[in-house]
Chain A
Amino acid sequence: MVGKFEGFEIPKPIPALTEDTKPYWEGCARHELLIQHCQDCGHFRFPPSGLCPKCMSTNTEWVAVSGKGQVYSWTIFHYVYHPAYAKDIPYNVAIVQLNEGPLLHTNIVECNNEDIYIGMPVEVIFEDVNDEISLPKFRPLSK
């Protein structure tokens, strides 16, 4: 998908809200990280879904989690897979494990790429894309 796109700008993809994911993204828009919590076994699950993969319970509550976690793995993109990201290269994409358990893809911000490491303590911040969508990203945990 590399190419010249002179004269017009291709926007970065943004999430589409679905029946399952709407509460998550609405939480993000309020700068709250909401994760589904199983009311029967206590398992925190991500991505959002209709039942708990650990015990199959449908009793679920959305809870605001700490937003703290650790870098589980990380990569640096040197290749343009989508023209909207061409100007960001090289950029990082990391997987963060929240203290509550779930893993999620994100970008590490307020940090040089070369300073990222597995196990690095991080905390969530929110980047507003538009009125409806804010993306949870993570920065090094301030002591």
Chain B
Amino acid sequence: MNLKETCAIVGVGFSEFGKKVPKSTMTLTLEGCKRAIEDAGLTKDDVDGLLLVLPSQEGERHGWVCRTCSHLGISSTFSAGLDIGGATPIAMVQMATMAINAGMCNTVVCCYGWQNSPMGIPLSMPPGLDFTAPYGDLAALPFKAQVARRHMHLFGTTSRQMGAVAVTFRRHACMNPQAQMYEKGPITIEDHQNSRMIVEPLRLLDNAPITDSGGAVVVTSAERARHLKHRPVYISGMGQAHSGEFMRPWRDPRYPEGTFEGGKAAEIAFGMAGVRHKDIDVAQFYDGFTILVIIELEAYGFCKPGEGGSFVEEGRLELGGELPSNTAGGLLSEGHLMGMGHIAEAVRQLRGECEERQVKDAEVAFVTGYGGSPHEYPISFSYSTLILTR
């Protein structure tokens, strides 16, 4: 059964967001839900499904999704809390599409909330870091620095090429007044090269900012979507891939050592949507760190393995380039909106709401999520993709 264009995204919304927002994880979540439901022109009584990203910074607190449902005053017939890291927002849209087609519900809110320093939750050492933390490695960035070093060694990728990712997405954020880095203005490659080292070879500007935020998208059947406020944005293709290839001794021969095997996530989505790479008008790549964009371009077949650095450096991701990407600024410059921001920006582009940063006549969007288990052994990766059409 091909689910192409059986469902659509009809609402997107975010809480107030920024480096420090003094609101709880739950309140940020609820504000995102409220704005997404309002954007869809619906009321909470129209919603009968709720999916959310399990907020890991809150610890192992069971029943989070049920409490969120109660806070929203929604009676759901389909709910779940999911966790595949930054790949989760896209995975929720996929699961909503499946559940609606299965007849379990008709309108699903997919949401998250993220408060970096929640009150009442002691900052403690997460369990399971026994093979990394005793060596001083205890955050998301350092493993990407290992990946970057290996990529530089094998393919000659440079720090300036990673800088080109940051510079491009900042330029886009400067056309997005909502972006966390909007006020900071544009940056140059030299600014990137002069930014301080965090974990060598990655610098401050290779890294997304810290963001307190909540957000949601509303998914419903294509039939219902055609009678709502906005032009429907159809879910045309979706895919996932999960593996631990960086640290295991055997590989899919199509992906040389040093690159990532996320390709299946795109192959499945492209196959379902019946589109090809050249059909993509606008892309939103999960960009918690600059190096991720380079390896995603390779893994998803936009260029050959090892060529991601030069692909970016040639300006192809810029507005006006052949693959305008992260047009709202991405995680790197719009803010760390968990990848939900990427889905929302694709929706805004396909609705034609983006004004100065609008990609002309955008009809097909490609969106990626990336997560998994970056610092707990066995180190593992999750990839998720969406192809959206209008």
Contact = CB atoms under 8 A, between A and B. Distances in A.
B228 interface: no
A135 B136 contact: no
Interface string B100-138: 000000000000000000000001010101111111111
A78 B133 contact: no
Interface residues of B, number: 33
Nearest to A93: B137
Contact of A81 (B138, B150, B249, B377): B138
B147 interface: yes
11 contacts: A13-B133, A21-B130, A53-B248, A54-B250, A76-B200, A78-B200, A82-B138, A88-B136, A90-B200, A93-B132, A105-B131
B192 to A, nearest CB: 16
Looking at chain B's contact residues, the main secondary structure is loop
Interface of B: 123, 125, 127, 129-139, 142, 145-147, 149-150, 153, 196-201, 247-250, 377-378
Interface of A: 1, 12-16, 18, 21, 43, 46-47, 49, 53-54, 72-79, 81-82, 85, 88, 90-91, 93, 95, 101-107, 118, 129, 135, 137
B197 A73 contact: no
Nearest to B204: A79
B143 to A, nearest CB: 9
B197 A78 contact: yes
Contact of B196 (A77, A78, A102): A78
B208 to A, nearest CB: 14
Contacts of B127: 16
A12 B134 CA distance: 7
Contacts of A90: 200
B136 A107 contact: yes
A77 B136 contact: yes
Contacts of B378: 47, 49
